[in-house]
Structure 1
Amino acid sequence: MSALLDGIKGNRFAVFGRAGMDMFADPVGTKSEHAETFRADLGGSSANICAGLVKLGSAASLITSVSDDAVGRFALNRLAHYGVDTSFIRVLGGEYRLSLAVYESCIEDFQNVIYRNGAVDFQVTEDDMDAVDYTRFSALITAGTVFASEPSRSATFRAFENARKAGLPVIFDIDYRPYSWPSADVASDVLSRAGDESDLIVGNDEEFGFMAGGIEHGLDKARELAAKGKMVIYKMGEGGAVTFADGQEIRTGIYPVTAVKPNGAGDSFMAGLLSSIADGHSLRDAVLRGSACASIVVSQPGCAPAMPTTAQLDDFLSNHSGPTEA
Structure 2
Amino acid sequence: MYDIIALGELLIDFTPLGMTAAGRPYFEQNPGGAPANVAACLARLGKKASFIGKVGDDSFGKYLDGVLKGYGVDTTGLIFDPNGNTTLAFIHLSEQGERSFSFYRRPGADTLLTIQDIDLSRIERSRVFHFGSLSMTDNPSRMATLMAAEHARKKGIPLSFDPNLRLPLWSSPVKARDMMIVGLQLASIVKVSEEELEFITGIQDYEEGTRFIYETYGVPLIFVTLGERGCFYRIRTETGISRGYSVQSIDTTGAGDAFLGAVLLKWLDKGVEINQLSANDVAHFCDFANAVGAIVTTKMGGMSSLPDLEEIESFISRTSD
The answer to whether the 8 A contact 2:10-2:31 is kept is yes
Q: 64-73 or 96-105, which moves further after superposition?
A: 96-105
Alpha carbons 2:235, 2:282 under 8 Å: kept: no
Aligned residues of 1:20 and 1:43 also touching (Cα < 8 A): yes
Q: 1:233-286 CA distances to partner (integer Å, 9 max, x unpaired)?
A: 122334432211132112112111000112111111111111122233932111
Matched residue, 2:276:
none
SS in 2 for 1:302: coil
TM-score by length of 2: 0.88
- In the alignment, is residue 232 of structure 1 matched against residue 222 of structure 2? yes
The correspondence of residues 124-139 of structure 1 with structure 2, limited to 5 A, is 124-139=113-128
Are 2:60 and 1:71 equivalent residues in the alignment? yes
What is the alpha-carbon distance in structure 2 between the residues aligned to residue 170 and residue 35 of structure 1? 44
Match of 1:262 among 246, 252, 261: 252
CA distance in 2, matches of 1:224, 1:25: 38
Partner residue of 2:95?
A: 107
| Match in the other structure for 1:23 | 14
Shift in CA distance, 162/105, structure 1 to aligned 2, threshold 3 Å: same
Q: In structure 2, the residue corresponding to 1:254 is in which secondary structure?
A: coil
Q: 1:285 to 1:98 in 2, by over 3 A?
A: same
Query: What amino acid does structure 2 have at the position aligned with 1:184?
Result: P
Residue in structure 2 matched with residue 6 of structure 1 by the alignment: none
Identity of aligned residues (%): 25
Quick one: which of 202, 220, 228 aligns to 2:208? 220
Alignment of structure 1 residues 171-250 onto 2, 5 Å: 171-212=160-201, 214-216=202-204, 219-227=207-215, 228=218, 230-250=220-240
> Are 1:142 and 1:171, in contact at CA under 8 Å, matched by a contact in 2?
yes
Residues 139 and 169 in structure 1, CA contact (< 8 A), matched pair in contact too: yes
> CA–CA distance in 1 between the matches of 2:206 and 2:239?
15
Partner of residue 303, structure 1: 302
Match of 2:275 in 1: none
The match for 1:253 among 235, 243, 256 is: 243
Are the equivalent residues in 2 in contact too, given 1:208–1:219 (CA < 8 A)?
A: no
Structure 2 Cα separation of the partners of residues 151 and 132 of structure 1: 20
Retained in 1: the 8 A contact 2:129–2:160?
Answer: yes
Partner residue of 1:149?
138
The one-letter amino acid paired with 2:165 is: Y
Q: Give the secondary structure class of the aligned counterpart of 1:133.
A: helix
Match of 1:271 among 251, 254, 261: 261
- 1:186-231 Cα offsets, whole Å, 9 max, x none, are 111111121011111110121111112x353665331122233521
1:174/1:191 contact within 8 Å kept: yes
- What's the CA shift for 1:309? 0.6
RCO comparison, higher one (Cα < 8 Å, 6+):
1
Q: 1:283 to 1:269 in 2, by over 3 A?
A: same
Q: Distance in 2 between matches of 1:231 and 1:168?
A: 15
Letter in 2 for 1:309: D
2:281 corresponding residue in structure 1 = 282
DSSP 3-state at the match of 1:21: strand
Aligned residues: 308
- Higher deviation after alignment, 123-132 or 192-201: 123-132
Map of 1:292 onto structure 2 = 291
Give the secondary-structure state (helix, strand or coil) at the position aligned to 1:88: strand
Assess, with a 3 A threshold, how the Cα gap between structure 1 residues 296 and 162 changes in structure 2: closer, same or farther.
same
Contiguous gaps of at least 5 residues in structure 1: 1-9
> 2:76 corresponds to which letter in structure 1?
S
- TM-score, scaled to structure 1: 0.86
Residues 67-100 of structure 1: CA deviation (Å, up to 9, x unaligned)? 1111111111111111111001121112x11122
**1:51, distance to aligned residue in structure 2 (A):** 1.3
Matched residue SS, 2:76 = coil
CA root-mean-square deviation: 2.4
Deviation at 1:145, TM superposition (A): 1.0
